[in-house]
């Protein structure tokens, strides 16, 4: 029997759990036993299952405080991945939002064989570099630090662009990210949406719809939860429930009226119950994809989302929810004031969500990899 291809997975860092890690977990299921190359790893901050994986870190693992203050070491990530030589593999699959696409694979650029085929699953071109104004606002970078960063940003952008030219094939998570890959890197890509756990989030016809709207999110600036909190000050007859935590929570609580409830983090079972019972799920931020709105549709509930980013791929206006613009309190209010949750068929919401299932992700990605490896 002919042995299968030797596969290596690459991930930017492993010290927090989010959408990127959801994708990585699916890649590990597809390629069990494949080594995972990353800059650094904090096992105590990651799910216990990760400790069974063959995770291989860079020299950055030895840097003081790197797993808790990884952003302070941003200039070193290109060097860490440039030193990661993966030319002994047949297929390298990088799961990129930062710099991990810069690993050495012997691809374009004249390096001698052996070489690996490098497929980059691009969550986004590096935000810190190419969407810096958004990043600066999100991280509240002051004028002095901003001025000092400019020469470094110019240098890192040149490195990042050159690394992107050595990737053999790009896969984008949404049409918005596909557009960015073309505009920033000048590269073509195919769209394969991230996996959503539609088996966990299911409708329950026996659970009645409650009298509340729902947000599930980290409470940080770019999520724009402030728009919803302020909108509900104009809707005293409606209720908003917010699940999640983050550094914006004190400011959001100060803005909120008595009809807004903050629940903090909740276990999975309670999240599913809240999703099933909401009048609609609110998604006021601009996201590259956005898994939570699809989870809500998977539970049979409509979504009200800002008309941008990944929501343009997932929400069907008039069928599974509504899109609002501009990204303002007035834009959101214009939809909320006339919103009727009974106008959206739970079965249609569920059917739309199933287009983004884990099974669909596995099938589309494996079909694409088979084509490029043929």
User: pLDDT of 237-273, one tens digit each?
Assistant: 999 999 999 889 999 999 999 999 999 999 999 999 9
Are the CB atoms for 53 and 43 separated by under 8 Å? no
Q: Rounded mean pLDDT of 99-105?
A: 96
How confident is the model over 298-308, as pLDDT tens digits?
Answer: 999 999 999 99
Sequence-separated (6 or more) residues with CB below 8 Å from residue 39: 12, 13, 57, 58, 60, 61, 70, 77, 80, 81, 99, 100
pLDDT more than 70, % of the chain? 96
Neighbours of 240 (CB within 10 A): 23
The Cα 71–Cα 67 span in angstroms is 9
With a cut of 80, say whether residue 14 has pLDDT above it.
Answer: yes
Residue keyed to tokens 């791929």: 313
Q: What are the structural domains of the chain?
A: 7-195+358-373 (3.40.50), 213-356 (3.40.50.2000)
Q: Between β-strands 281-283 and 260-264, what pairing exists: parallel, antiparallel or unpaired?
A: unpaired
Q: What is the pLDDT of residues 313-353, one digit of tens each?
A: 999 999 999 999 999 999 999 999 999 999 999 999 999 99
- The answer on pLDDT for 354 being more than 80 is yes
Name residue 11's beta-bridge partners.
38, 95
Query: Which string of DSSP letters, residue by residue, matches 46-102?
Result: S-GGGGGS-EEE-GGGGSTTTTTSGGGGGGGHHHHHHT-B-TTSSEEEEEESSSGGG
pTM: 0.88
Per-residue pLDDT at 109: 46
State the pLDDT confidence band at 104, using cuts at 50, 70 and 90. very high
What is the model's pLDDT at position 222? 82
> For the segment 143-181, what is each residue's pLDDT rounded down to a tens digit?
887 788 889 999 999 999 999 999 999 999 999 999 999
Q: Quote the percentage of the chain above a pLDDT of 90.
A: 83
């Amino acid at each position: 029997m002919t042995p299968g291809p030797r596969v290596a997975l690459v991930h930017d860092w492993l010290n927090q759990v989010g959408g990127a890690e959801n994708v990585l977990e699916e890649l590990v299921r597809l390629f069990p036993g494949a080594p995972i190359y990353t800059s650094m790893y904090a096992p105590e901050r990651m799910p216990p299952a990760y400790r069974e994986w063959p995770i291989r870190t860079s020299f950055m693992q030895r840097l003081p405080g790197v797993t808790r203050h990884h952003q302070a070491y941003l200039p070193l990530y290109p060097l860490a991945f440039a030193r990661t030589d993966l030319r002994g593999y047949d297929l390298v699959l990088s799961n990129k939002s930062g710099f991990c696409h810069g690993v050495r694979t012997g691809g374009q650029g004249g390096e001698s064989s052996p070489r690996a085929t490098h497929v980059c699953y691009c969550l986004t071109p590096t935000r810190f570099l190419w969407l810096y104004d958004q990043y600066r606002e999100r991280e509240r970078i002051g004028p002095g630090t901003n001025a000092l960063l400019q020469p470094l940003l110019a240098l890192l952008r040149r490195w990042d662009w050159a690394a992107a030219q050595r990737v053999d094939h790009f896969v984008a998570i949404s049409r918005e990210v596909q557009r960015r890959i073309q505009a920033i890197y000048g590269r073509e890509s195919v769209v394969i949406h991230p996996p959503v756990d539609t088996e966990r989030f299911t409708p329950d016809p026996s659970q009645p719809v409650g009298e509340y709207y729902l947000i599930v999110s980290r409470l940080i600036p770019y999520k724009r939860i402030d728009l919803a909190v302020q909108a509900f000050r104009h809707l005293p007859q409606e209720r908003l429930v917010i699940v999640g935590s983050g550094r914006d929570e004190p400011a959001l609580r100060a803005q909120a009226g008595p009809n807004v409830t903050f629940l903090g983090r909740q276990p999975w079972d309670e999240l599913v119950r809240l999703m099933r019972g909401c009048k609609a799920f609110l998604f006021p931020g601009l996201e590259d994809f956005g898994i939570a709105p699809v989870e809500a549709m998977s539970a049979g509930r409509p979504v009200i989302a800002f008309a941008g980013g990944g929501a343009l791929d997932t929400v069907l206006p008039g069928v599974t929810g509504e899109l609002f613009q501009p990204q303002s309190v007035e834009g959101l209010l214009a939809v909320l004031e006339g919103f009727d949750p009974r106008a959206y068929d739970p079965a249609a919401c569920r059917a739309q969500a199933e287009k983004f299932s884990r099974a669909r992700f596995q099938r589309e990605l494996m079909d694409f990899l088979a084509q490029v490896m043929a």
